[in-house]
Amino acid sequence: MSHNLFVGCGNMGSAMVAGWLLANENPGDYTALRPSGRSVPGIRTIQRLGEIDRAPDRLILGFKPQQLRALAPDVARWVTRDTMIVSMLAGADVATLGRLFPGARAIVRVMPNLPVAVRRGVLPLYTPAHEDKALQAELQPWFSMLGFAPWCASEEEFGAIGFVAGSTPAYVARFIDAFAKAGEGRGLDPGLALTAAREAVLGSAWLGATTGEPMAELARRVTSPNGTTEAGLKVLDADLPGLVDRTLAAATRRSAEMAAEIRGEPLQ
Ligand SMILES: NC(=O)C1=CN([C@@H]2O[C@H](COP(=O)(O)OP(=O)(O)OC[C@H]3O[C@@H](n4cnc5c(N)ncnc54)[C@H](OP(=O)(O)O)[C@@H]3O)[C@@H](O)[C@H]2O)C=CC1
Ligand SMILES: O=C(O)[C@@H]1CCC=N1
């Protein structure tokens, strides 16, 4: 049994743990380091690395990217040739991770999103040893317990999928809230408006995933000629593609800034 040690297990680490436990993983195979002493439901939590009772096979970096350079020397002391580094740190590229953890068996990047907690996440994967089919075969079932876990051929592709999926739960939450607020503005009870908007988004994505049809076709099937949806889409279509593009561009810029900060380069 592999020992999976989270160094930092807050929002995202805890979501991953919840997903793995939901998939009937053995809680004894997971340990979380949280300096605050807060618990992670279902697994052992420690406050210092010195408290681990066995060497980790997979050491999962779950703290903030800005902490990487400060924490790496202490973490590296627990890395042997058998230890895999799994990094979920936005903006920390494999070259930087490789320099900080030179003795590791492998470096794997994952960019999960929050629905991993209910095993419906999107979690792109990248390793510089991506041609190593044995490594991929070893890890695929583990990550796939949490959702859609594609291996990326390049770090650029990994970054692009991460931008499409990693933050999307936050964007979708805003989208649902905007519809709920608009419903409230039209006299709906707030709870009813929120439930209706959330279920409509969930049902639409579910339907699209079930039929596999192009999103344009799904939209067409909703849109009666000269009906209400057509009138609404004329407004939405004028702004949404540009808005989404600017949103991802801002996240991409920030990721590049964070990568430079992590490498210790001065900000532009
Ligand atoms: N949130 C998200 O949706 C996503 C996050 N990520 C990445 O996940 C990582 C964590 O983000 P998120 O979970 O949101 O952040 P949180 O702030 O929720 O979690 C950060 C964790 O780091 C721990 N920590 C703080 N200081 C130390 C330290 N000195 N040593 C060890 N651990 C420490 C915290 O401990 P304590 O719990 O005790 O406070 C906490 O568990 C980031 O690198 C982010 O880029 C990637 C994809 C999506
Ligand atoms: O906001 C962030 O930086 C992290 C990475 C993707 C989602 N949350």
pLDDT for 265? 75
Which parts of the chain have pLDDT scores under 70?
Answer: 130, 266-268
In percent, how much of the chain has pLDDT > 70?
A: 99
Atom of ligand 1 nearest to the CA of 162: 47
How many domains does the chain divide into?
2
CA separation for the pair 90, 255 (Å, rounded): 7
Q: Considering only CA atoms, which of 145, 83, 54 is closest in space to residue 44?
A: 54
Instruction: State whether the beta carbon of 38 lies less than 6 angstroms from ligand 1.
Output: yes
Does residue 163 form part of some domain?
no
Does residue 268 form part of some domain?
no
Instruction: State whether the beta carbon of 90 lies less than 6 angstroms from ligand 2.
Output: yes
Does residue 110 form part of some domain?
yes
The verdict on 227 and 200 lying in the same domain is yes
The H or E element containing residue 85 is: strand 84-87
The verdict on 131 and 52 lying in the same domain is yes
pLDDT for 1? 78
Atom of ligand 2 nearest to the CA of 65: 3
Phi-psi region of 38 (alpha: psi -120 to 50; beta: other; left: phi over 0): beta
pTM over 0.90: yes
Of 105, 123, 158, the position where a domain reaches its end is 158
Q: Tell me, what CATH number does 194's domain have?
A: 1.10.3730.10
Does residue 100 form part of some domain?
yes
The verdict on 26 and 130 lying in the same domain is yes
Q: From the CA of 48, how far away is ligand 1's center (Å)?
A: 15
Q: Tell me, what CATH number does 67's domain have?
A: 3.40.50.720
The verdict on 66 and 22 lying in the same domain is yes
Does residue 29 form part of some domain?
yes
Range of the domain at 91: 4-158
pLDDT for 210? 97
> For 78, how many CA atoms within 13 A lie in the half-sphere containing its CB?
25
Asked if ipTM goes beyond 0.90, one says yes
Q: From the CA of 211, how far away is ligand 1's center (Å)?
A: 36
The verdict on 131 and 184 lying in the same domain is no
Instruction: State whether the beta carbon of 167 lies less than 6 angstroms from ligand 2.
Output: yes
Amino acid at 152: C
CA separation for the pair 190, 213 (Å, rounded): 33
The verdict on 184 and 151 lying in the same domain is no
Does residue 116 form part of some domain?
yes
The verdict on 68 and 112 lying in the same domain is yes
The verdict on 133 and 20 lying in the same domain is yes
The verdict on 43 and 137 lying in the same domain is yes
Of 140, 158, 176, the position where a domain reaches its end is 158
The verdict on 149 and 38 lying in the same domain is yes
The verdict on 128 and 245 lying in the same domain is no
pLDDT for 266? 62
pLDDT for 151? 95
Atom of ligand 2 nearest to the CA of 258: 3
The verdict on 178 and 76 lying in the same domain is no
Residue 16 and residue 116 in contact, taking contact as beta carbons nearer than 8 Å: yes
pLDDT digit string, tens, across residues 216-251: 999 999 999 999 999 999 999 999 999 999 999 999
